[in-house]
Structure 1
Amino acid sequence: MGSRPTVVVSSPEHAKECFTEHDVALANRPRFPSQQLVSFDGAALSTSSYGPYWRNLRRVAAVHLLSAHRVGCMAATTIAAEVRAMVRRMSRAAQASHGGAARIELKRRLFDLSLSVLMETIAQTKTSRAEADISLEAKEFKGIVDKVVPYLGTANLWDDVHSSLAH
């Protein structure tokens, strides 16, 4: 497809073979130069190549971030505090509008809620809910995500030029 070598698997038998017997050979995604720049040369779990490093990252994520203990640390009080902060933000948006109602992008609000809960749990960022609805760390991370995500997974000429020069 374009300048990328592509294999089309057209039968269920071959698809099963790809995802069982040869799954390691097909486990990696393409390594686009632009993604390498924003992911510290593929250092993140979602961008690293399958192998010992990726397996170690996965183990750390499973044991330290997603373990029953860590998930249990996401106490109901933490989640409740984040939900209250989200409701306050929506209430302020409604009050700021002249009719007492405001159009709210729920997808964005739920992303903010998830991010706040994760930052509170993983990074143990504590904020005074009276002063701020979201920690400085979460705001910084959110800003990075907002800038980077629209470009990930999109085709761009820079990736094609650098990939063709490498081959």
Structure 2
Amino acid sequence: MYIKISKEVQEQYRNDVEKILNNPDFQKLRFYRQHNWTNRLMHSINVSYLSWWIARKFGCNEKAAARAGLLHDFCLYDFSETPPDGEFQSFFHPKVAAENSIEHFDITEKERDAILSHMFPLGPLPNSKEAWIISFADKICATAELCSIAIALARRGKVKFVPNPA
């Protein structure tokens, strides 16, 4: 499968996230339900784009915001299941997402820290502007998704899933 983002979306954003979006393991997020009607892949794309857009408006590192936003929930298991150590999901899954991101992609320390702190105030205090942005964007997207409101790139066919290009 190939994830194609509409040309209406800025080329810089598409370039910043293309490698992650088209990773076969990352694409498995589409099999996990997230926040009512969406799946974890689309939720992650929405958080990524909103984070990128906000970071750009405030003069922050938009590439780090886009990549960490995309990877913040990179966990290939059902969140309704209890974690193996019994820890609350809100504390456990950021650690798994960071580990998976390190294993699959060359992420920066800033991206790692943003992934680990995206559940603030239920997790560590964000220590960069980009981490604060991702935490905020995650909450905005989750709220919209829980209310069945299409947000960011979930609107009007901005993202298409197509067979691998030849």
Task: Tell me which structure has the larger Cα radius of gyration.
Answer: 1
Normalising by structure 2, report the TM-score. 0.30
Normalising by structure 1, report the TM-score. 0.30
Higher relative contact order (Cα pairs below 8 Å, separated by 6+ residues): 2
Between structures 1 and 2, the one with greater strand share? 2
